[in-house]
Amino acid sequence: MPSGSAQAISEAAARHAQQSEDMMREAGPDPLLGASIHSDEDAMHRAVHLGEGVRGTTAPNPWVGAVLVTVDDEIYEGATEPPPGRHAEIVALGAARSAGADPAGATLYTTLEPCSHTGRTAPCIDAIIAAGISRVVVGVTDPDPHVAGSGVDALRAARIEVDVGVAADAVLLSLRPYLHQRQTGRPWVVLKLAATLDGRTAAPDGTSQWITSPEARADAHGLRARCDAVLVGAGTVRADDPSLTVRELPPTDPHRPLLDMREARDDPTDVPFARTAADRLDPRRFVLGMAPAEAKVQPCIEVSGALRSVVPRLADDGVVELLVEGGANIAGELHRDGLIDEYVVYLAPALAGGDDGLPMQAGTGAQSIDDFWRGEIADLGRVGPDLRITMFPAAPDSP
Ligand SMILES: NC(=O)c1ccc[n+]([C@@H]2O[C@H](COP(=O)([O-])OP(=O)(O)OC[C@H]3O[C@@H](n4cnc5c(N)ncnc54)[C@H](OP(=O)(O)O)[C@@H]3O)[C@@H](O)[C@H]2O)c1
């Protein structure tokens, strides 16, 4: 097959569409699933779960989930496919049709407002209207200027009942990075660090593998799977030679079926152009500075310049959720520029026992207690013997 030809692209896209549809069909119609959906909120929570399962594989598109409930109470599901694949609503409609079900009169639940413009795919609203759907339940409207309420307006103009805001808290929690990227023009930046309890990220000789446990490292692979790109500094590449791929996931991670699908495939190179969702669990890799040709992070994209310019450029390049995995110099610069949206720190029950190891953030920090940066703990949990702390910047009006 000629790599990169129009035929290769369309054949590969058709194959991954089929794989995705096979996966979705496995879940519906399912009497057990139907028994667990009693309300609009139940259906929307299920849609959020479906979207989370493809998070990290859909950029520059959002990770949307959709649930279609037919007039016979049969349930079909969809989630966004990797570009140039279908949007979640179309996958759910396709799953119903593949099973011989008629979507006319059905209710469609979707975490994000259906699109009304032609991008890589045709407008979802056209397919929804043509299918005769009677009611569309939307989690949140899409701030993308191409949509911004026009999807909802078009559905209502077609006399389809539309409800917006069902289970909105859960939807906002899931889609917050996408909404942030479209609203600010910057990716959602997650800084992940592994540190001793006294805050050291490497010993004085530069060694840091491993501060935390295998369980914590597998958990961090879940973060990589969730994000569509990862950034490290050249210092980290020189010291650790990381590959930054997704190799392990905790058993409960929503990406697990995709990882299993990748492991099951005989020849992982047989889709030459349009990669499948499973391939895309590995984030795009960016290095700040130069990466040696033989570094395990290759193939990677080298970037340089002030981070306040580099980070928005990554959004222009389609990055929605960016994981920064150190080191201390990058972490310090990003932090001082206010570019970090989520801090994930794994703390090991270990002490470096001095101040000569590498800190979490290098550079000149706050000079007085009044200038200390404050955040809000969003989550605190044990991962094996370690702690995982997730923190967001404090809201502007916090004390
Ligand atoms: N515990 C953890 O979670 C963790 C995570 C990662 C790393 N580490 C440890 O941290 C250490 C590495 O951290 P580090 O602070 O030394 O290095 P780093 O932050 O990974 O990288 C710093 C390097 O990035 C390049 N760079 C920085 N800003 C740049 C810019 N604006 N444009 C172009 N290039 C830029 C420079 O490379 P050049 O010098 O080539 O110009 C600079 O020396 C290692 O010991 C590693 O083991 C620990």
Give the per-residue pLDDT at 205.
Answer: 96
How many Å lie between the centroid of ligand 1 and the Cα of residue 345? 17
Residue 75 · residue 67 · CB < 8 Å: yes
Q: pTM value? A: 0.88
Backbone phi, then psi, for 143, in 5-degree steps? -75, -10
Residue 278 · residue 213 · CB < 8 Å: no
The answer to whether residue 12 scores a pLDDT higher than 60 is no
Which residues, other chains included, contact 176 with Cβ-Cβ below 8 Å and sequence gap of 6+?
188
Most informative mutation of 288, 325, 334, 344 for ligand 1 (most atoms within 8 A of CB): 288
The answer to whether residue 271 scores a pLDDT higher than 90 is no
The tens digit of pLDDT for each residue in 97-130 reads 999 999 999 999 999 999 987 777 778 999 999 9
One-letter amino acid at 62 equals: P
Comparing 387 with 30, the larger pLDDT belongs to 387
For ligand 1, say whether the CB of 53 is within 6 Å of any of its atoms.
Answer: no
Residue 367 · residue 379 · CB < 8 Å: no
The answer to whether residue 286 scores a pLDDT higher than 70 is yes
pLDDT confidence tier of residue 77, bands split at 50, 70 and 90: very high
Positive or negative torsion for Cα 108, 113, 115, 116: positive
The tens digit of pLDDT for each residue in 17-51 reads 444 444 444 434 454 565 578 899 999 999 999 99
How many Å lie between the centroid of ligand 1 and the Cα of residue 238? 8
pLDDT confidence tier of residue 251, bands split at 50, 70 and 90: confident
Residue 278 · residue 265 · CB < 8 Å: yes
Strand 161-164 vs strand 75-79: parallel, antiparallel, or unpaired? unpaired
Give the per-residue pLDDT at 3.
Answer: 35
Distance, CA of 389 to CA of 385 (rounded, Å): 13
pLDDT confidence tier of residue 276, bands split at 50, 70 and 90: low
Kindly state the tokens that stand for 224: 């990589």
Distance, CA of 3 to CA of 84 (rounded, Å): 16
What mean pLDDT comes out for the span 281-290?
95
Question: Which atom from ligand 1 is nearest to the alpha carbon of 237?
Answer: 20
- Torsion angle of the four alpha carbons 137, 185, 303, 217, in this order, in degrees rounded to the nearest 10: -40
The residue with tokens 């808290």 is 169
pLDDT confidence tier of residue 252, bands split at 50, 70 and 90: confident
Among 108-122, 252-266, 323-337, name the one with the lowest average pLDDT: 252-266
What mean pLDDT comes out for the span 216-245?
96
For ligand 1, say whether the CB of 91 is within 6 Å of any of its atoms.
Answer: no
Across the chain, what does the average pLDDT equal?
Answer: 88
Least Cα distance to 278 among 300, 296, 297, 256 occurs for 256
Which residues, other chains included, contact 333 with Cβ-Cβ below 8 Å and sequence gap of 6+?
307, 363
Least Cα distance to 133 among 162, 167, 168 occurs for 162
